[in-house]
Amino acid sequence: MDRGALLDIESEGLLTDRRELDRISSDRSEKDNTMIKEPLLRRRINTTSQIALVGANVCPIESLDYEIIENDLFKQDWRSRKKSQIFQYIFLKWTFALLIGLCTGLVGFFNNLAVENISGFKLLLTSDLLLDKKYVKAFLSFAGCNVVLAAVAAALCAYIAPAAAGSGIPEVKAYLNGVDAYSILAPSTLFVKIFGSIFGVSAGFVLGKEGPMVHTGACIASLLGQGGSHKYHLTWRGLRYFKNDRDRRDLITCGAAAGVAAAFRAPVGGVLFALEEVASWWRSALLWRTFFTTAVVAVVLRGFVEFCRSGNCGLFGQGGLIMFDVSSADATYGTADLLAVIFLGTIGGILGSLYNYLVDKVLRTYSIINEKGAPFKVILVIAISLLTSCCSFGLSWFAKCTPCPANMQEPCPTVGRSGNYKIFKCPPDHYNDLATLFLNTNDDAIRNLFSSGTEKEFYLSTLFIFFVAVYCLGIITYGIAVPSGLFIPVILAGASYGRLVGTLIGSISSLDAGLFALLGAASFLGGTMRMTVSICVILLELTNDLLMLPLVMLVLLISKSVADCFNKGVYDQIVKMKGFPFMEAHAEPYMRQLVASDVVSGPLITFSGVEKVENILHALKMTGHNGFPVIDEPPFSDAPELVGIVLKSHLLVLLKGKVFSRERVLTGDEISQRFGAFDFAKAGSGKGLKLEDLDIQEEEMEMYVDLHPITNASPYTVVETMSLAKAAVLFRELGLRHMCVVPKTPGRPPIVGILTRHDFMPEHVLGLYPLLKPTSRGRK
Amino acid sequence: MDRGALLDIESEGLLTDRRELDRISSDRSEKDNTMIKEPLLRRRINTTSQIALVGANVCPIESLDYEIIENDLFKQDWRSRKKSQIFQYIFLKWTFALLIGLCTGLVGFFNNLAVENISGFKLLLTSDLLLDKKYVKAFLSFAGCNVVLAAVAAALCAYIAPAAAGSGIPEVKAYLNGVDAYSILAPSTLFVKIFGSIFGVSAGFVLGKEGPMVHTGACIASLLGQGGSHKYHLTWRGLRYFKNDRDRRDLITCGAAAGVAAAFRAPVGGVLFALEEVASWWRSALLWRTFFTTAVVAVVLRGFVEFCRSGNCGLFGQGGLIMFDVSSADATYGTADLLAVIFLGTIGGILGSLYNYLVDKVLRTYSIINEKGAPFKVILVIAISLLTSCCSFGLSWFAKCTPCPANMQEPCPTVGRSGNYKIFKCPPDHYNDLATLFLNTNDDAIRNLFSSGTEKEFYLSTLFIFFVAVYCLGIITYGIAVPSGLFIPVILAGASYGRLVGTLIGSISSLDAGLFALLGAASFLGGTMRMTVSICVILLELTNDLLMLPLVMLVLLISKSVADCFNKGVYDQIVKMKGFPFMEAHAEPYMRQLVASDVVSGPLITFSGVEKVENILHALKMTGHNGFPVIDEPPFSDAPELVGIVLKSHLLVLLKGKVFSRERVLTGDEISQRFGAFDFAKAGSGKGLKLEDLDIQEEEMEMYVDLHPITNASPYTVVETMSLAKAAVLFRELGLRHMCVVPKTPGRPPIVGILTRHDFMPEHVLGLYPLLKPTSRGRK
């Protein structure tokens, strides 16, 4: 196979925009398909579903490396803005943090309010019919409501914003790593994410609103940072300072943290979640700003909850913003308890990694269905909804009735919507313990499982049935075209598992069954998501009891360690499956055996410092590259020398401005009069000039344009003999998009090639050098 | 002034080892002294005290860049160790985390136990004498005990390990930034830190054991990582994998986190503290390992506390491991409360930044006294101890007596050591509220201030006097030759300030006075240390109440913001004052106006690939450089080309091995037979070969040695026209020690110069280009 001819094309560009692809690139895609044995769905083209789409519309975002403001021409701009505008910038930064916090808190509360009211209405209707012994009608109304809600959510998702399906955390994580998936932060995605999530959760699926809240927070942050939406003409020119990747990333990190804070009412947990799981680059200043945002969210939520306490919010109850109370459980423990906890953590880790494995398989299966088109997506959602309804209602149907315990503070059986003791079809003064779990919102089910001092509430068989049902439903639900979080299914399955174990070994251990449920949830979270500190803090903030911290830490450590032996964390797995070229923080060990020039190959498309318009247009048309090296040749320098890198987006702006000259001369002054630095500011994702927007006349084709003013004259470079591992570290730590490889020996062209994100991907490197065995992959 | 001649010397090397300095370097130091207007004490030589020493013995540690294992010659070593030894490495890594946790927990507990017993004995003695109305004897015994304890602590510190004075957090922070202060992690420092801290805290100073615990944790980690001490022949050869800077830094980060966890019993707070304040580089894998370490600490401490609960630990009481209980305070609040909290935070921020300012002034004054020698240090400590005793006893003497409140659960007046109601010289059934604060351990005083539901316990005047006294004593105590933490003085002053404000505006706000004390402490911590998330979590873990999280966050945000307008955080200030060349995470804005070659200048000392022994020895003797570029010339390459960088420490090992040849030939094979990769492993700080250890004969001087095998062939390079800001980001993010600047145009020598940490220091850059006005310094 002609590798040299293939690899001269910067791989990332190929995937940017379908319309720009030409013969060369489609040739290449085909060859790539045969070249890489396990394509992981990433080279597929022309798919539309979010899941199957996996990678087709991925475009790495700009690096932190390139700021046009650093160019000589525009330095004056920077100096002049120093005085007053830096304060404006700082003021705006904090205003944004405040706004993100306010909006996310508001949306989080609205989301909860809507879910509580919709599902409350549904459950009340069902329980009224059940009380009247109209069982068939009850089932039909229950399943009917679920299907209608599910269908609405699915239709929103399938027809308006396919990108809103799923959790959204992998996409946000990939964005913050430098990979911008198509329309992942668009206004339509935000709309569908909010309403799809409300309808999806209300439809009684085993899915959560926490992942979508993170995505929602990120979308809000992105929209605010862009000053609204260009498409819907909601924008504000004053925000030009934020039209760069560093500030945008910072805002989105804040947004993700605010999302977690709003979902769990866990401000510290939100900061840690953003730090541990979502962000790829972290700065101390960001910690501080993120913390401010989550504090605002906490205050907003607290305000609303206070407001609702007086009954102003319809059916909005305690379950609204989950806050579980296990603090009454006694937190003293001995050796037997520790052994029980170690056992719980080990099995939890195994089950967690099995969960990841199965989610992966199911996602791959669903992507085939979802690819067939929007109607199929909706049908799949309806099918899963019916299955869920049947499970919930059917399994409860066959459960035994239990006499109500005496001397309870709570009424038993529960009248109304939520509560520990659902009557279902039991005689008076009895309750159906499985219905208590199934015919409730997920939040209430978790609260029931976590409740302490109620050892006898659930039968072993009930817990077992519920655990198996929820574990399986959770797996088959993730991946349907509905915004669906993974936190709640995992906590639900983990809590029932924990309570099951706690009830089983209640004779050995003195710990409360509710505490076991909490520890079980921790073990599942550790086993699937592989976070430690943030989950620990989120659970502490949820349960408001610090005394069980050591036990929670222990369980998390064990389950994460065990699960790490088998596979990656669920979000990493989804990132990989979607084909995002995610840069890991460390270089793979086999990269030490290679040098930079081993993965780069020429010939390369370069421009002269003053280049003919025709050549630029041709290069832009024929390739999908996003960066081109600029080389000065003898008229402008003594010998060929590398000036720097010019970006496609900047080239388009320059060509649009038409500062051309008939002769090959420097026209920098003219350009600096025509353009300000902010004309080159980054447009929102998917926006900005396209090649088709240019209107270059025939006679202009022969003219010249001076590229010096827009060339990044300080690109990061590595020598061709640089160890690939060290080049990868440089690329990753500095968040680059393009890295120039320069020759070691003099007398050769001044640049050997350009390394992009794709050149560091294990698939690419191992495709070139199959003999290098990868070691320790899938571990952190 | 001849700048060119000065700047060819790599500045860092000059400060490494006094004995290596020759005429050139002392010349330079003198000129530097005149060159830099505000020397910040950093160029002073021949001082011995830890405070005045400030920078004289600073040596930047190796970078993460250089691993000899990456050289071709030793790649085989790496490959062969892949199989079994990687598991050994991982196993050891976790064992270390466990051991650090265990040891730090043990030391932390021992520390508390000793302090509680010693100061308990002292306080019991005093209160017995007071009960017998022997007031003079009581004062003499109180002050006498204090002076003796203080003198012992000071003597330990002044004569055995001056590096143990102070908090230690700035030093650990500098170490993790890449600056190794002299003997900061030595075994003697550890010893003095532990015992000095015990005696110092027992002596009743207004200082804490928390900062020293962080330093202790770091020392323990460092010693474990070195496999014990070379000096005392406690070492283990199997630990050679950890003899590099990355692993050592990771261990020390874990140690610092463990220290905080042990000091505050705050495992999550410890992790966050390490992340937010101490570490300069952070990896996700480290979060997870640090978390494990602090979890171990938490378990160890819990075990010991359980053991002591049954009264096995002498006078070890509740105050042992501070855990304050404010959870009974009601956490509902309205607008008036919020306004009060905002007011509290603002004033707290101002007072906090004033605290920093005064600490800085006092430190500079003390450094003059401490410089005069060890006896002066001891005298200063004794003077401060007498002053503290007089304050405590004298101010209490003039305080009013208060009748005991009726219906108290606690006995009043308190019998014995601690408690809320000290009788001092009051009649029966009365107590002296100032004595309750002064004649107690600091931990108990804080607990008394935090106690809720006791609005009437303290007079306004009492709180005011105590606040002023503690604020001033805290400032004058830090800087004396005793291990002294800043947390406790700041919390103490903040808590009394908060309670004062709370009592003052008790009519407006419905919040509890104890809660006000907590918020006051938070505002002072935010105002002095400028941490947010970690202080928030530490306070939450201390008080075990999550419901006041929003208020604590609010106060911290306000006080940090206010204080940031005035000066830097206290630790940053001390780092700067001690003259550590600390690399900030961001480049200074004016660096954008410069390029790399603006701060570097030739001529440079370079070696050939095969160099004459005499030349190497001469270069090592005449300069203090730690890295030399190696250049291959025509016999070995077509044109002069840069091979890489060779480190002084590796050169010394190579010369010691004497693999010389009479001819100018490559002898790589011979070298690889003679040496293994681990022969070049980094020795502990202050250890390793010295130039005097070499014994080169006269005839060997004329022989050649092949430098290729030990040359780092992949140094990170920048082109001379690279923006200095971007070069600084590269240097800082990748944690480099040397960065090569290469020429842009061909036909010149292959290297322009080497940039080191010192070349990026604002003092250096602004010294060269005084017209560049620094903006936004002192902000984060």
Q: What is the interface pTM, i.e. ipTM, of the complex?
A: 0.82
Q: Does A90 touch chain B (CB under 8 A)?
A: no
How far is it, in rounded angstroms, from Cα B633 to Cα B642?
9
Q: Residue B379 — pLDDT band, cuts 50, 70, 90?
A: very high
Q: Residue B55 — pLDDT band, cuts 50, 70, 90?
A: very low
Q: Does B6 touch chain A (CB under 8 A)?
A: no
Q: Which residue of chain B comes nearest to A73, CA vs CA?
A: B593
Q: What is the pLDDT of residue B508?
A: 79
What sign results for the dihedral spanned by CA atoms A450, A453, A454, A456?
positive
Q: What is the dihedral of CA A416, A417, A422, A424, to 10 degrees?
A: 80
Residue B563 near residue B352 (C-beta atoms within 8 A): yes
Instruction: For an interface test with A, give the residue of B250, B280, B533 to mutate (most A CBs within 10 A).
Output: B533
Determine, for residues A639 and B745 on separate chains, whether the beta-carbon distance falls below 8 Å. Answer: yes
Q: Write the DSSP string, B145-192.
A: HHHHHHHHHHHIIIII-GGGSB-SHHHHHHHHHTEE-TTTT-HHHHHH
Q: Which residues of A touch B65 (CB under 8 A)?
A: 726
Q: What is the dihedral of CA B110, B111, B113, B114, to 10 degrees?
A: 110
Q: Residue A282 — pLDDT band, cuts 50, 70, 90?
A: confident
Alpha-carbon distance values, B753 to A365, A382, A712, A720, B582 (Å): 58, 68, 23, 20, 21
| Residue A92 token pair | 């705006």
Task: Please report the residues numbered 248 through 307 in chain A whose beta carbons come closer than 8 angstroms to any beta carbon of chain B.
Answer: 267-268, 271-272, 275-276, 282-285, 287-288, 291-292, 295, 298-299, 302
Mean pLDDT of B71-96: 63
CA distance A729 to chain B (A): 8
Q: What is the pLDDT of residue B129?
A: 87
Which of A626, A664, A666 lies closest to A646 in space, CA to CA? A626
Q: Does B633 touch chain A (CB under 8 A)?
A: no
Among A595, A733, A780, beta carbon nearest to B734: A733
AA identity, residue A603: P
Query: A191 or A533: which carries more pLDDT confidence?
Result: A191
How far is it, in rounded angstroms, from Cα A645 to Cα A10?
14
Residue B413, preceding peptide bond in cis (omega within 30° of 0)? yes
Instruction: For an interface test with B, give the residue of A70, A80, A532, A537 to mutate (most B CBs within 10 A).
Output: A532
Check whether A184 has a pLDDT greater than 90: no
Q: How many residues does chain A have?
A: 780
Q: Residue B152 — pLDDT band, cuts 50, 70, 90?
A: very high
| Residue A724 token pair | 């690939």
Residue A173 near residue A278 (C-beta atoms within 8 A): yes
Q: What is the pLDDT of residue A589?
A: 77
How far is it, in rounded angstroms, from Cα B689 to Cα A370?
66
Q: Residue B228 — pLDDT band, cuts 50, 70, 90?
A: low
Residue with tokens 């928390």: B210
Determine, for residues A717 and B721 on separate chains, whether the beta-carbon distance falls below 8 Å. Answer: no
How far is it, in rounded angstroms, from Cα B747 to Cα B745?
7
Alpha-carbon distance values, B537 to A267, A276, A632, B264, B534 (Å): 11, 16, 56, 11, 5
Determine, for residues B730 and A716 on separate chains, whether the beta-carbon distance falls below 8 Å. Answer: yes
Q: Write the DSSP string, B717-770.
A: EEETTSBHHHHHHHHHHTT-SEEEEE-SSSSS-S--EEEEGGGGSHHHHHHH-T
H or E stretch covering A529: helix A513-529
Q: Write the DSSP string, B669-721.
A: HHHHHH--GGGGSPPPTT-S--GGG----TGGGGSEEE-GGGSBS---EEETT
Q: Does B780 touch chain A (CB under 8 A)?
A: yes
A547-595, pLDDT tens digit by residue?
677 788 889 989 998 999 999 999 999 988 888 888 888 888 788 788 8
Residue A430 near residue A404 (C-beta atoms within 8 A): yes
How far is it, in rounded angstroms, from Cα A425 to Cα A130?
7
Query: A282 or A555: which carries more pLDDT confidence?
Result: A555
Determine, for residues B729 and A734 on separate chains, whether the beta-carbon distance falls below 8 Å. Answer: yes
Q: What is the pLDDT of residue B78?
A: 47
CB atoms within 10 A of CB A66: 26
Q: Does B241 touch chain A (CB under 8 A)?
A: no
Which of B277, B174, B271, B164 lies closest to B528 in space, CA to CA? B277
Which of A305, A328, A326 lies closest to A317 in space, CA to CA? A305
Residue with tokens 């998009």: A737
Q: What is the pLDDT of residue B409?
A: 65
| Residue A66 token pair | 């390139």
Backbone angles phi, psi at A55, to 5 degrees: 100, -15
Q: What is the pLDDT of residue A72?
A: 46
Which of A291, A281, A360, A322 lies closest to A111 in space, CA to CA? A322
Task: Please report the residues numbered 544 through 583 in chain A whose beta carbons come closer than 8 angstroms to any beta carbon of chain B.
Answer: 544, 546-547, 549-550, 553-554, 557, 560
How far is it, in rounded angstroms, from Cα A61 to Cα A22?
22
Among A299, A585, A719, beta carbon nearest to B717: A719
Q: What is the pLDDT of residue B110?
A: 92
Mean pLDDT of B374-392: 94
3-state percent helix, strand, coil for chain A, nearest multiple of 5:
60, 5, 35
Any idea which of A287-301, A406-420, B17-31 has the lowest mean pLDDT? B17-31
Q: Write the DSSP string, B299-310.
A: HHHHHHHHHHHT
Q: What is the pLDDT of residue B623?
A: 80
Q: Which residues of B touch A267 (CB under 8 A)?
A: 549-550, 553
Q: Residue B649 — pLDDT band, cuts 50, 70, 90?
A: confident
How far is it, in rounded angstroms, from Cα B594 to Cα B729?
14
Residue B275 is classified by DSSP as I
The residues pairing with A478 across neighbouring beta strands, listed in sequence order, are A480
A411-466, pLDDT tens digit by residue?
677 666 556 677 788 887 888 888 888 888 888 888 888 887 666 778 889 999 99
CA distance B592 to chain A (A): 7
Q: Residue A304 — pLDDT band, cuts 50, 70, 90?
A: confident
B707-724, pLDDT tens digit by residue?
888 888 888 889 888 888
Determine, for residues B550 and A639 on separate chains, whether the beta-carbon distance falls below 8 Å. Answer: no
Q: Residue B40 — pLDDT band, cuts 50, 70, 90?
A: very low
Rg (CA), chain A: 28
CA distance A657 to chain B (A): 27
Name the strands in the sheet holding B738-742, side by side, starting at the edge strand that comes first in the sequence: B717-719, B738-742, B753-756
Q: What is the pLDDT of residue A355?
A: 96
Mean pLDDT of A364-389: 92
Helix (H, G, I), strand (E, B) or coil at B4: helix
Which of B205, B212, B209 lies closest to B473 in space, CA to CA? B205
Q: What is the pLDDT of residue A23?
A: 33
Task: Please report the residues numbered 707 through 746 in chain A whose beta carbons come closer than 8 angstroms to any beta carbon of chain B.
Answer: 713-714, 716-719, 721-723, 725-726, 729-730, 733-734, 744-746
Query: B89 or B684: which carries more pLDDT confidence?
Result: B89
Task: Please report the residues numbered 121 through 160 in chain A whose beta carbons come closer than 8 angstroms to any beta carbon of chain B.
Answer: none
Backbone angles phi, psi at A264, to 5 degrees: -110, 0
B173-203, pLDDT tens digit by residue?
998 888 877 788 888 999 999 999 999 999 9
CA distance A66 to chain B (A): 10
CB atoms within 10 A of CB A466: 29
The residues pairing with B432 across neighbouring beta strands, listed in sequence order, are B401
Please, what is the average pLDDT of chain B? Answer: 79
Buried b (16+ CB within 10 A) or exposed e, A634-648: eebeeebbbbbbbbb
* pLDDT cut 90: percent of chain A above it: 26
How far is it, in rounded angstroms, from Cα B168 to Cα B484?
8
Residue A691 near residue A712 (C-beta atoms within 8 A): no
Please, what is the average pLDDT of chain A? Answer: 79
CB atoms within 10 A of CB A460: 12
Among A70, A267, A285, beta carbon nearest to B780: A285
Q: Does B84 touch chain A (CB under 8 A)?
A: no
Helix (H, G, I), strand (E, B) or coil at A607: strand
B454-513, pLDDT tens digit by residue?
667 788 899 999 999 999 999 999 989 999 999 999 999 999 999 999 888 877 777 788
Buried b (16+ CB within 10 A) or exposed e, A501-516: bbbebbeebebbbbbb
Q: What is the pLDDT of residue A443?
A: 84
| B104 alpha-carbon distance from chain centroid | 16
Q: Which residues of B touch A723 (CB under 8 A)?
A: 70, 713-714
- Chain A and chain B share a number of CB contacts under 8 A equal to 176
Mean pLDDT of B382-390: 95
| Residue A300 token pair | 């907003």
Q: Residue A182 — pLDDT band, cuts 50, 70, 90?
A: confident
Check whether A599 has a pLDDT greater than 60: yes
Q: Write the DSSP string, A35-66.
A: HSS--TTTT--S--SHHHHTTTT-EEPPPSS-
Backbone angles phi, psi at B756, to 5 degrees: -120, 175
Among A70, A267, A276, beta carbon nearest to B287: A276
Helix (H, G, I), strand (E, B) or coil at B129: helix
Q: Does A541 touch chain B (CB under 8 A)?
A: yes
Residue B721 near residue A713 (C-beta atoms within 8 A): yes
Q: Residue A682 — pLDDT band, cuts 50, 70, 90?
A: low
Q: What is the pLDDT of residue A550?
A: 78
Determine, for residues B746 and A747 on separate chains, whether the beta-carbon distance falls below 8 Å. Answer: yes
Q: What is the pLDDT of residue B31?
A: 36
Q: Which residues of B touch A639 (CB under 8 A)?
A: 745-747
Q: Which residues of A touch B285 (CB under 8 A)?
A: 586, 780
How far is it, in rounded angstroms, from Cα B617 to Cα B701?
8
Buried b (16+ CB within 10 A) or exposed e, A287-315: bbbbbbbbbbbbbbbbebbeebeeeebeb
Any idea which of A278-287, A518-527, B391-400 has the lowest mean pLDDT? A278-287
Among A267, A544, A585, beta carbon nearest to B283: A585
Any idea which of B48-62, B232-246, B574-588 has the lowest mean pLDDT? B48-62
CB atoms within 10 A of CB A18: 12
Determine, for residues A560 and B288 on separate chains, whether the beta-carbon distance falls below 8 Å. Answer: yes
Residue B421 near residue B444 (C-beta atoms within 8 A): no
Buried b (16+ CB within 10 A) or exposed e, A675-696: bebbebbbebbbeebeeeeeeb
Q: What is the dihedral of CA B352, B358, B364, B367, to 10 degrees?
A: -80
Among A70, A557, A723, beta carbon nearest to B714: A723
CA distance A286 to chain B (A): 10
Residue with tokens 């959770």: A474
